[in-house]
Chain A
Amino acid sequence: MKMEEMSLSGLDNSKLEAIAQEIYADLVEDSCLGFCFEVHRAVKCGYFFLDDTDPESMKDFEIVDQPGLDIFGQVFNQWKSKECVCPNCSRSIAASRFAPHLEKCLGMGRNSSRIANRRIANSNNMNKSESDQEDNDDINDNDWSYGSEKKAKKRKSDKLWYLPFQNPNSPRRSKSLKHKNGELSNSDPFKYNNSAGISYETLGPEELRSLLTTLIFLFQQCGVISEHTKKMCTRSLRCPQHTDEQRRAVRIYFLGPSAVLPEVESSLDNDSFDMTDSQALISRLQWDGSSDLSPSDSGSSKTSENQGWGLGTNSSESRKTKKKKSHLSLVGTASSLGSNKKKKPKPPAPPTPSIYDDIN
């Protein structure tokens, strides 16, 4: 259509109609052609098939809108079994309990500092060294940087063990502490229960305080050292695999001839023991991984100072020490225990972070 200088007002309706129609037809034609070219191009260049989709599998993603179901068609509240791996301690934790676990794992709980301080107090008593004033909170703070954590992780791979009845997953420690009968390990969901037990290497000087607590548990657990694995049995005092004889022997070995196998029913826990004699006790544990300890060695107690263990007494301290239980890590270092006896002024090296964290 030629571009004519026409004044629209001069045209009558039918002409306007015609012009409008033409414009409309042009527009429609252009858009249709455009579309055709697109399709033609797609076919020619070989990507036309891309528009095909698979309706079957598309149904998998349709949003569901029904009462009682979420948009994926799943029932509510079925996610209790979700688990995750703690980035700090690499344990598998139930997802819904991860936050409380992480709090304890990182040593941030309300009770953590209290426990840690008590531990310091204990070790202060033990070592009688004033240089041991490290603030446990600082130790815990070391956990926060991944640098030290890497070191910790390394050492963790060395024989670590936890007192199984201190389940870090349990929200209230008192719960686990109520267990007496040596039923602890059975009721504990910890996977450690299924393992053969515990092994430990040569104790470093800083392990003294942990060792004390270690020994405490002998009142709660079987403790018999397996000949094959050199590990202490963590099952209950009624463990079927070992006899009472064996249990007694282990205790005598560690605690001296006056050691008594605790009665299973009694509320005998980590009773008070005299800290000053712990050194003597520990010195007897010249223990390195290769040495062959069997229950038959029990007779040879190396020192006579073993009255420290007030077995059978239920002093008020027992309650406190009960709460003091923390998990231990015995890291393989070849420091001799004898040095502890001499009370070298050297302060103990900072204990491995994170594993020491209170799991209160």
Chain B
Amino acid sequence: MPNHPVPVPSSVLAALKNKTIHLSAAKMIHSLFLVNASGDIFLEKHWKSVVSRSVCDYFFEALERATEPENVPPVIPTPHHYLINVLRHRIYFVAVIQSEVPPLFVIEFLHRVVDTFQDYFGVCTEAAIKDNVVVVYELLEEMLDNGFPLATESNILKELIKPPTILRTVVNTITGSTNVGEQLPTGQLSVVPWRRTGVKYTNNEAYFDVIEEIDAIIDKSGSTITAEIQGVIDACVKLTGMPDLTLSFMNPRLLDDVSFHPCVRFKRWEAERILSFIPPDGNFRLLSYHVSSQNLVAIPVYVKHNISFREGSSQGRFELTLGPKQTMGKAVESVLVSSQLPRGVLNANLNPSQGTYTFDPVTKLLSWDVGKINPQKLPSLKGSMSLQAGASKPDENPTINIQFKIQQLAISGLKVNRLDMYGEKYKPFKGIKYMTKAGKFQVRT
């Protein structure tokens, strides 16, 4: 009879009653709350005793105080707990902790959770999380044990809990099989925890994308205040068995500061500047690097601008022209210009020579989707801005943020020399792609 209490030896019960339950300051992550943009908690998970969701009130207070969503402080102390939150995809992941813990530990973990969700569901939105709440729960259960990270490696998780696909859902309902693995993932115990054994592909392929981002601040006169290149090599490796890859560069000295996926043999890199690794299966970030700051950074675009407000007049002039510069002959594509115009601007009446622009009178955000820059006919955006009547001239000109892409070019000049595979017999298909993007590319006007 389910409701009937189980007979327990009375002596044990008596002993129990005398014992006060002491809750020591348990470390690490206690609970997790997911809060959406409108400030509703839509998911909660507790790894230890339940913490009432009212603890989030402190978070909401901070949220109210913040002018922008990003301005919520990542660490919020409350009388009995500490809240550490990260904001991604307009969802706040609020972790509740009770005692001293390196805050980056929690932050890094939360980001890893988001990455995992993204990996599993394609997107990490409130809807996706709600639709897959069971998988989410299973994942969170595996990722933390008693608040301490247990399995965060995506390939291990995928063996434990298979990502939902439509096909699998259908199959599962018919066959009654489950999404949950019954065996300890092979990676969990191996020296290469990032790779599972028994990987098989009919087409063996390894693709590497060298993606560089330029972070720059350009001043009014067009001179570079600061510019640096941050690069990553993202890989998509689908190779059978246990391949051992080496990747060498023509000019490894360019790489100033690197961080690796755990698979990369650090000592080999130290000694020979060669990346030697047994790759994880599928997509992963092989390394990220910083190009040494001594090297001059080529700035691929320039901006000519004339944004002015006249004292006393309710009109302002806006002129912007973009042009290519140091692009090594490659086309600058997917150009997007955005700028936060001063608060006094009521509306903008502009005329783009190409592309489309939008101006949001509420947020004062101007964005101009330029597309590709044609060096013969430079794209420009000209027109006037109307200001609030009687308002004084804004004392700062807006900053212009530029996004762009340049295909087949690594702006630092980094070049992969060769990619070799050992340990397996077959010949894989190898591909390397280069791309340069704007990172935080700002022009002050």
A in complex with B:
no
Residue ranges of A at the interface with B (Cβ–Cβ < 8 Å): none
